[in-house]
Amino acid sequence: MAVERRIVLIWVAIAAFAIVSVPSVFFHKAASRYFGFLGGWETGLIKPSKPSAMPPMRKSAAKALNPQPELRFAKFSLKAKDASEVRLVGDFNKWDPAALKLVKKDGNWETIVPLPPGEYRYAFIVDGDQSADPSNPETAERDGRRVSVRSVK
């Protein structure tokens, strides 16, 4: 009887460990993907702040601080029915082709990127080939290639 109770307790401990640890692994992967599109952010450096532990700010220092810019949600889309993979590269993700993969929806590939107001150069990588956005007439040149330019207001 004592052996059976010990086995049950071991299984309960294993189940409790799995219930606690498995979701945290998925959360870490999701957070890494979310912050990864910006390229330089390390999720290990993101820690919650403790406002109560911060020293009070002087009024002159508070005025000198620049407020963080508001983010706008910029939608990027491309019509490419025959493509098997489309990625987005640009100034906002340090031109990293692995950073941002678009999702196929009714023959269109699309994504939404939170960006502060400004002007951004970008391009699509369709099945490994980089090209400018065909629906955007505003272009610029980067490393000898034509790329698109988008203004976020």
pLDDT tens digits, 38-77: 555 554 554 555 555 555 666 655 555 666 668 899 999 9
| Range picked from 19-23, 70-74, 148-152 for highest mean pLDDT | 148-152
122-149, pLDDT tens digit by residue? 999 999 999 999 999 999 999 999 999 9
* pLDDT attached to residue 151: 94
Task: State the SS3 of 86-147.
Answer: EEEEEHHHCCCCCCCECEEECCEEEEEEEECCEEEEEEEEECCEEECCCCCCCEEEECCEEE
Could you tell me how far CA 55 lies from the centroid of its own chain? 32
Residue 112 pLDDT more than 90?
A: yes
C-alpha to C-alpha distance for 18 and 39, rounded to whole angstroms: 31
Q: What average pLDDT does this structure show over 67-89? A: 89
**Residue 85: pLDDT over 60:** yes
Burial 56-80 (b: 16+ CB within 10 A, else e): eeeeeeeeeeeeeeeeeebebbbeb
Q: How confident is the model at residue 19 (pLDDT cuts 50, 70, 90)?
A: confident
Lowest mean pLDDT among 62-66, 76-80, 112-116: 62-66
pTM, whole model, 2 decimals? 0.57
Question: What integer best gives the mean pLDDT of the chain?
Answer: 82
Taking the C-alpha atoms of residue 122 and residue 92, their distance in angstroms, rounded to an integer, is 8
Q: Of 33 and 90, which is predicted with more confidence?
A: 90
